[in-house]
Amino acid sequence: MAQTPRAKKAKVSQPKVDAFESSDPHELISQSREAAIKRMKSRSGRHEFSDLDIAIKTVRALIVTNEEIWNRCNKHYLHDKLFKMTRFDEIEVWNSVDETKIGINAKETMLDFDMEPLRTLPDCLAKFMPDKDATGIIDFKASFRESLVFHEDVLLVFLAQLKKHLERVQVCLGAIDQWVMDGADSAKFLEFTFDVTIDDILSKIPQDCTCHSNHLHGYHRYHDYASTNRCFSCQGKKVYDIVSFGGAGKVEQSFNISKEKDRAQLKRLVEYLKHV
């Protein structure tokens, strides 16, 4: 005779105990800590730190490194996800009467980058790190300092979760930093090869603008445009003469100095023009 399967007993959920209901101070503290630890562990179920000294040193090192990277990138930051940089990758060689001239074509480039980890925290950290600067970017240094008042049990879990997030931040900053360094590398090559400074180039490139009434000849220097918002748009010639070679014959060529091959070719051309 077949047995009728027993019906499973329904689990009776226990009501959540509010730590604040406890009248015992020590129990109140203990339950509050446990609740905080549980909330921070909810994403991974465990944490990787067992030594508080190592945890603090590791997280501090990440914050310091990220801050150094951000300081390099911050001067190119506009708003939201947008960054802007003037790049000097294109070199032009052309003839003018009996001279061969070499000039740089300065171009403004704008690019969006992932900024979410710098602005948004995972739920397990959000309640413990409210500090942000005027642009909405999280002040990790201030939040880290404030967290050091936590009890050791809570702090170990907090720092483990913070470390994971700071590693995400570092990946995002690394992408921005690489873009900045690529542009800076071309600028350094330009300065070294032609004995010029980027600041000198930026200050001498004339720009045609829409506010002719503000300028005697309808032109203003590049750094004026960069530091004021009077001009709605700027167009026209952006090639700055770096050097001229007299009686050098006819040479017309373009180079992209972000590429090693073009750099080598340009160096050979410069040496040739110096000795003809």
Compute mean pLDDT per 10 residues along the chain, 276 residues long, and list them: 55 51 61 62 58 91 95 89 86 78 81 90 75 80 86 85 93 94 87 81 57 40 38 47 68 83 87 76
pLDDT of amino acid 70? 94
pLDDT at 67: 95
Question: What is the structure's pLDDT at 247?
Answer: 62
Q: Within a domain: residue 236?
A: yes
Domains: count for the chain? 1
Residue 7 lies in a domain: no
Q: Is 10 part of any domain? A: no
Q: What is the pTM of this model?
A: 0.66
pLDDT of residue 102: 81
> Pairing state of beta strands 82-96 and 253-256?
antiparallel
* pLDDT score for 130: 65
- Within-domain flag for 18: no
Domain membership of residue 19 (yes or no) is: no
pLDDT of residue 172: 95
Domain that holds residue 146: 24-275
Partner residues linked to 84 by β-bridges: 110
